[in-house]
Structure 1
């Protein structure tokens, strides 16, 4: 399914475009399609080291995010997306960089298989919250007051919790029920010391959804 999804995404790319790419297996397939296709002068911006290395191995030009102010289109996966194109992007802990890439894109497209599409976000995944170190305890207490179970994310092979490339800790805030996704994201983002969250609300222009039978469905923003 991931390959079919990537093939549908490839058809949206034109010669000379500067595109944003996230991480994950579907993006790896998309890189292969770009490499095998007839497109010229494609440049890539990505927050993912694995994606950057894959592009380099296929001879695709990668430019730093800080040198770019706009992108023609950007593609990324997510943990879950709803029919209104609200998405949770908690897994990679690079959501701040991913949001920057999404904001620069004229069109931001999510690539998912049908198992990740829900009518309304269920929050089976926690909301990842990046915070400046000095605000760690304060932000944790504020999230707990909002009803979340909060933990500093840990990773295998590392002593202590996960830190971003910018040196900021990442908290996982688990919510049981959320009635208003946009309101939740605003409340968390307004806490002093919060850098960003993994909730993407009102950002995606469309989602390309791969079905088990090999077909793809495109959902446009309402």
Structure 2
């Protein structure tokens, strides 16, 4: 399995622990990324042992993996509720706020996480930080990317946006929704809630990667154990 930063063992511990929280008969949001992949695979094995669940994938990647693992799939408009969403993060602050969107899937990820009764984040120690300081991914309508970039530079604090380029094709990254991605550098983010509101109010922004106050718990896997961080919303 190809993974990002952090060891496979740490990611496996976090993902498999989150999968243990999936209850029989539930609807589960299936996030995107290398750590969440371990959770999806564990859910697939549990289904082989008799667990009955339905999954809602948040990206083409998670959908394909779920199909490979024989997880029955559904969608938000076909269910009355989402019991649990499991997803990774690019960065997790001490307050439990997140930066997501490294896989350009934050729009669907946020929709599913917001609809879920519980939202569990899986991570390894490389994703932890005292405060958020990575660039913030923003999905934008293609015709608006230059206008959005200008507005981001005018915010307080000002951001420095970069159009995300594809690595194995000419041109920019195109999301599953047919939009473009801006990666916006704000430095150390002292007030993520205010910044999230500012970005949401920019015309042309489809969704941004700041997930503020949404996580109920963060499962942090290490090479020799697991730490569970719980937050007030759980």
In the alignment, the residues of structure 2 paired with residue 205 and residue 162 of structure 1 have an alpha-carbon distance, to the nearest angstrom, of 31
Match of 2:154 in 1: 145
Match of 1:5 in 2: 14
Contact 1:47 1:65 (C-alpha < 8 Å) held by counterparts: no
Match of 1:178 in 2: 189
Match of 2:7 in 1: none
Task: State whether structure 2 residue 107 is matched by structure 1 residue 118.
Answer: no
In the alignment, the residues of structure 1 paired with residue 13 and residue 167 of structure 2 have an alpha-carbon distance, to the nearest angstrom, of 32
In the alignment, the residues of structure 1 paired with residue 140 and residue 26 of structure 2 have an alpha-carbon distance, to the nearest angstrom, of 34
In the alignment, the residues of structure 1 paired with residue 14 and residue 96 of structure 2 have an alpha-carbon distance, to the nearest angstrom, of 17
RMSD: 1.6
Match of 1:215 in 2: 225
Cα deviation, residue 39, structure 1:
4.4
In the alignment, the residues of structure 2 paired with residue 145 and residue 177 of structure 1 have an alpha-carbon distance, to the nearest angstrom, of 17
Match of 1:187 among 173, 195, 198: 198
Secondary structure class of the residue paired with 1:217: strand
In the alignment, the residues of structure 1 paired with residue 167 and residue 179 of structure 2 have an alpha-carbon distance, to the nearest angstrom, of 18
Task: State whether structure 2 residue 212 is matched by structure 1 residue 201.
Answer: yes
Match of 2:110 in 1: 99
Instruction: Give aligned pairs, total.
Output: 219
Contact 2:131 2:190 (C-alpha < 8 Å) held by counterparts: no
In the alignment, the residues of structure 1 paired with residue 176 and residue 195 of structure 2 have an alpha-carbon distance, to the nearest angstrom, of 26
In the alignment, the residues of structure 2 paired with residue 9 and residue 134 of structure 1 have an alpha-carbon distance, to the nearest angstrom, of 39
Unaligned runs of 5+ residues in structure 2 are 1-9
